[in-house]
């Protein structure tokens, strides 16, 4: 069964002015659709066909560039859309708040550390908040479409918050001002979803 492009769950203009509608439309309908199509082509007729994306990434042969790039791209964007929300975002609370404060001291210090990881990722890639078994959280970043679920990649936890820092994610509106895009992202983070993912993965 082929992977399908997931719905955003909100309109392309719903995150304005933080993320503009044109960027969202191209990012979702062109970039994410492209990763989805290329992933399906890469696994068709192989023993990966029919497996979950988490299973594929966790057990990935890292030398398989087509599945690494497009499976990562499929998974990463599928997570990214869910951790933003134009409304009903909730706030950092509960066990996730405790874990973030244990690791980083405060929400503000966490945001500063995450923003630094996103700003200093050279070239294209992602910043992540990951959770390890037992509940400890850790910020890391990956190049290209790599993901911490992949063998030997970065901090090796389960990602629960991700930020795309490829230029295609922000260039139309922010040009080279990646830090402004990172700040804007934190205006639309869906803490309810991050907390749900934390509880599921810890």
Residue 193 within binding range of Mn ion, rule CB under 5 A: no
- How many residues in the shown chain lie near Mn ion by CB under 5 A? 3
> DSSP 3-state helix, strand, coil percentages of the chain (rounded to 5)?
50, 10, 40
Interface segment toward Mn ion; rule CB under 5 A; list 34-42, 96-104, 163-171, 187-195: 163-171
Sheet holding 137-143, edge to edge: 137-143, 125-131, 158-164
Which residue of the chain is nearest Mn ion when measured via CB?
164
Rounded alpha-carbon distances, angstroms, from residue 132 to 55, 84, 107, 183: 17, 22, 19, 26
How far is it, in rounded angstroms, from Cα 74 to Cα 87? 25
Residue 164 within binding range of Mn ion, rule CB under 5 A: yes
Interface segment toward Mn ion; rule CB under 5 A; list 52-60, 84-92, 102-110, 158-166: 158-166
Residue with smaller CB distance to Mn ion, 96 or 127: 127
- Asked if 135 and 99 touch (Cβ cutoff 8 Å), the reply is yes
Residue with smaller CB distance to Mn ion, 31 or 89: 31
Interface segment toward Mn ion; rule CB under 5 A; list 3-11, 58-66, 138-146, 164-172: 164-172
Site residues (CB under 5 A) for Mn ion?
Answer: 164, 166, 169
């Amino acid at each position: 069964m082929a992977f399908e492009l997931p719905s955003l769950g909100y309109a392309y203009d719903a995150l304005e002015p933080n993320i503009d509608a044109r960027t969202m439309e191209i990012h979702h309908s062109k970039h994410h659709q492209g990763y989805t199509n290329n992933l399906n082509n890469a696994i068709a007729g192989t023993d990966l066909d029919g497996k979950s994306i988490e299973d594929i990434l966790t057990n990935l042969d890292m030398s398989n560039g087509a599945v690494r790039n497009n499976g990562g791209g499929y998974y990463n964007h599928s997570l990214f859309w869910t951790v933003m929300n134009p409304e009903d975002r909730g706030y950092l609370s509960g066990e996730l708040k405790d874990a973030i404060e244990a690791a980083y001291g405060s929400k503000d210090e966490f945001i500063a550390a995450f923003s630094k990881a996103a700003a200093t990722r050279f070239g294209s890639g992602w910043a992540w908040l990951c959770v390890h078994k037992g509940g400890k959280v850790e910020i890391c970043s990956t190049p290209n479409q790599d993901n911490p679920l992949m063998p030997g990649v970065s901090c090796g936890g389960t990602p629960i918050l991700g930020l795309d820092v490829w230029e295609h994610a922000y260039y139309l509106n922010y040009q080279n001002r990646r830090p402004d895009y990172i700040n804007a992202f934190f205006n639309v983070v869906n803490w309810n979803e991050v907390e749900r993912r934390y509880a599921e993965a810890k």
